[in-house]
C-alpha cells in the first residue's frame, strides 16, 4: 500500500516537472518571435535553456536523490567539458580561414 501511494506521488511530481519543461519551451517560442535585439535574445534563450536542462537532469535522470558530492562532481565536470570544447574553436577557425602568416 505504501509503495502504491509513493508511486502516485512520484508520478505527480514528474508530471509537474514535465509541464514546467513544456512551459519553458513555450517561453522559448515567445522569446524567439519577440522583436528584441540579438544579444538580449541570446541571454534570455540561454537562461531558459539552462533552466530546462537543469530540470531535466535533476528529475528525469534522478540526480536530485543522489548525494551532494555527486551533484557537485557532475556540475563541475560539465562546466569543465564546456570550457574544454570552447578551447578548440580557435584552432577550427584557423583551419577554416588558413594560417594568417602563411599568406
- DSSP character for 61? S
> Same domain for 3 and 53?
yes
Grid coordinates given for 52: 530546462
Q: What is the pLDDT of residues 1-37, one digit of tens each?
A: 456 555 566 788 888 888 999 999 999 999 999 999 9
> Same domain for 61 and 98?
no
Which residue range forms the structural domain that includes residue 19?
1-65
pLDDT of residue 27: 95
The number of domains in the chain is 2
> Same domain for 6 and 49?
yes
Say if residues 60 and 17 touch (Cβ distance below 8 Å). yes
Nearest-angstrom CA–CA distance, 52 and 100: 41
Q: What is the pLDDT of residues 45-94, one digit of tens each?
A: 999 998 998 888 888 888 878 888 888 898 899 889 888 877 766 666 66
> Same domain for 61 and 88?
no
Which of 35, 50, 65 terminates a domain? The answer is: 65
Q: What percent of the chain clears pLDDT 90, i.e. is strictly above it?
A: 27
What are the residue ranges of helices labelled H in 1-103? Answer: 2-32, 38-55, 68-87, 89-97
> Same domain for 73 and 87?
yes
> Same domain for 75 and 51?
no
pLDDT of residue 43: 92
Say if residues 30 and 41 touch (Cβ distance below 8 Å). no
Say if residues 53 and 24 touch (Cβ distance below 8 Å). no
> Same domain for 29 and 52?
yes
- DSSP character for 65? G
Amino acid at each position: 500500500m505504501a509503495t502504491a501511494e509513493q508511486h502516485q506521488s512520484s508520478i505527480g511530481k514528474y508530471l509537474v516537472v514535465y509541464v514546467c519543461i513544456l512551459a519553458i519551451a513555450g517561453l522559448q517560442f515567445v522569446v524567439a518571435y519577440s522583436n528584441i535585439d540579438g544579444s538580449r535574445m541570446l541571454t534570455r534563450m540561454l537562461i531558459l535553456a539552462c533552466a530546462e536542462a537543469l530540470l531535466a537532469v535533476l528529475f528525469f535522470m534522478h540526480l536530485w536523490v543522489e548525494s551532494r558530492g555527486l551533484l557537485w562532481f557532475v556540475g563541475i565536470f560539465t562546466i569543465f567539458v564546456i570550457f574544454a570544447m570552447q578551447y578548440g574553436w580557435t584552432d577550427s577557425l584557423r583551419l577554416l580561414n588558413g594560417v594568417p602568416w602563411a599568406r
